[in-house]
Amino acid sequence: MSAGTAIPAERAAVFDCRVAFAETLIALAEEDERIVAVCNDSVGSSNLGGFREAFPERLINVGIAEQNMVGVAAGLANAGFVPFVSAASPFLTGRAMEQIKADIVYSGANVKLCGQSPGVSYGELGPTHHSIEDIAWMRALDDLPIVVPADPEQTREALHWAADYVGPVFLRIGRHKVRSVSGGQAPAFVPSRCNTLAAGTDVTLIANGTMVEVALDAARQLGAEGVSVRVLNMATVQPLDAEAVLDAARSTGGIVTIEEAVPRGGMGGAIAELLAERHPTRMRMLGTHQFAPTGDVAYLFDRFSLTCNGVAAAARELLSDS
């Protein structure tokens, strides 16, 4: 897997959210003996090796069997455990969709679904391994909170919140190394609220996950041209921070959404649905489209305009239309 190496080498101080995920899960499990990890042969790809070493009995590895994995998690929750299901997002959400619907969300099971390596992070492995549909699929389940942390701080805090929250949660844990975007903000994660990373007035960039740092870079580029850019880190896709979105729609000249997912049904879609009813606003929705061509992550980001230049261009286009 060379996908992780596709990030530009010159980038300083980058962090792996999967490491934050693994360390936090171990810390949570030390505090709460009800916490178990459930996986589908994904001990390595989910970074659960440390968890297995610390709590060998509490790592439930069902093998390559995602439907059973999610059903077993529902049963463990019924027995009083707090299962964190950790599996590659395409297989967790795609293969076990009906189990997520019926056994977890409709049954109200206290299970935390952790989709690993989402978006196009598997790069050259192609669309079977890309998880660009997961947000749209999960969003159709109204009662399921959906959280896409942008950096290790958010990942840690979102995991702590998920452990305390009683009910199902979907967490999407990025694979690419990312810069810290929370910048020491405390708290880095507040459920159902976005983080305002820049308070501009001309245009708003709303991103989450791996795309937040891209949005920040684009804001810097636009700022150098005299454009005042608002940047929102929309870590919670569901329920959406309607107040912040409506404020951006009312007080800036348009909204660009950026996500490593299909925007139709994704975060962009959620924002467009809200605004269509409450405050119609000009938008550009950046994300992946259709099955990706063969390519590494950097190539695919470029192809889908999920880059500093691509985001800045979309913002300029939006402003020039006004």
The number of beta carbons lying within 10 Å of the beta carbon of residue 305 is 18
Instruction: Decide whether 25 or 231 has the Cβ nearer to another protein.
Output: 25
In one-letter notation, the amino acid at residue 274 is L
Instruction: Write out the two tokens for 220.
Output: 């810097």
Contact call for residue 57 and another protein (CB under 8 A) = yes
For another protein, the binding residue among 24, 71, 202, 268 (CB under 8 A) is 71
**Judged by CB under 8 A, does residue 68 bind another protein?**
yes
Q: Does 60 bind another protein (CB under 8 A)?
A: yes
Applying CB under 8 A, which part among 107-115, 188-196, 224-232, 285-293 lies near another protein? 107-115
Calculate the alpha carbon distances from 80 to 55, 77, 151, 206 in Å: 17, 5, 31, 38
Write down the residue that tokens 């178990």 correspond to: 36
- Give the Å distances, CA to CA, from 95 to 28, 91, 106, 272: 28, 5, 17, 28
> Does residue 319 touch another protein according to CB under 8 A?
no
| Element holding 195 (H helix, E strand) | strand 195-198
Stretch that binds another protein, among 60-68, 220-228, 253-261, 291-299 (CB under 8 A): 60-68
Q: Which stretch binds another protein (CB under 8 A): 77-85, 124-132, 266-274, 287-295?
A: 77-85
Residue 81 found at the interface with another protein (CB under 8 A): yes
CA–CA dist 249, 246 (Å, integer):
5
Binding mask 19-48 toward another protein (x if CB under 8 A, else -) reads -----------------x------------
**Binding segment for another protein among 106-114, 183-191, 278-286, 303-311 (CB under 8 A)?**
106-114
Q: Check if the beta carbon of residue 275 is closer than 8 Å to that of residue 241.
A: no
244, 232 Cβ separation under 8 angstroms: yes
Q: Which of 17, 22, 29, 72 binds another protein (CB under 8 A)?
A: 72
What is the side-by-side order of every strand in the sheet holding 35-39? 59-61, 35-39, 82-88, 112-116, 169-173, 146-147, 236-238
Taking the CB of residue 7, how many other CB atoms lie within 10 A of it?
A: 17
Residue 74 found at the interface with another protein (CB under 8 A) = yes
| Residue number with CB closer to another protein (6 or 100) | 100
Least distance from C-beta 52 to another protein, angstroms?
15
Of 174, 71, 188, give the one whose Cα is nearest residue 114: 174
- Given 75, 183, 280, 293, the residue binding another protein (CB under 8 A): 75
CB 259 within 8 A of CB 214: no
The reply to whether 73 sits near another protein by the rule CB under 8 A is yes
In the complex, which residues of this chain contact another protein (CB under 8 A)? 36, 57-58, 60, 62-63, 65, 67-68, 70-81, 83, 98-99, 102-103, 106-109
